[in-house]
Amino acid sequence: MSYRGVNIPEELMREIEKVIAKKKHGFKTRAEFIKQAIREKL
């Protein structure tokens, strides 16, 4: 599988990191969170 990069605004990334830090939804990495968020929108 090949990958592509995307730019995410700092403010949005900080919000993602807060969710991950709370361990509320079981995400361990930003990549896991972002991939799941994209899947839910597709």
Q: What is the pLDDT along the chain (42 residues), one digit of tens a residue?
A: 899 999 999 999 999 999 999 988 899 999 999 999 999 999
- What is the spatial distance between Cα 26 and Cα 36, in angstroms, rounded to a whole number? 11
Q: What is the DSSP letter of 28?
A: -
pTM for this predicted structure: 0.80
Residue 30: name the closest of 38, 39, 41, 20 by CA.
20
* Whole-angstrom distance, CA of residue 40 vs CA of residue 42: 6
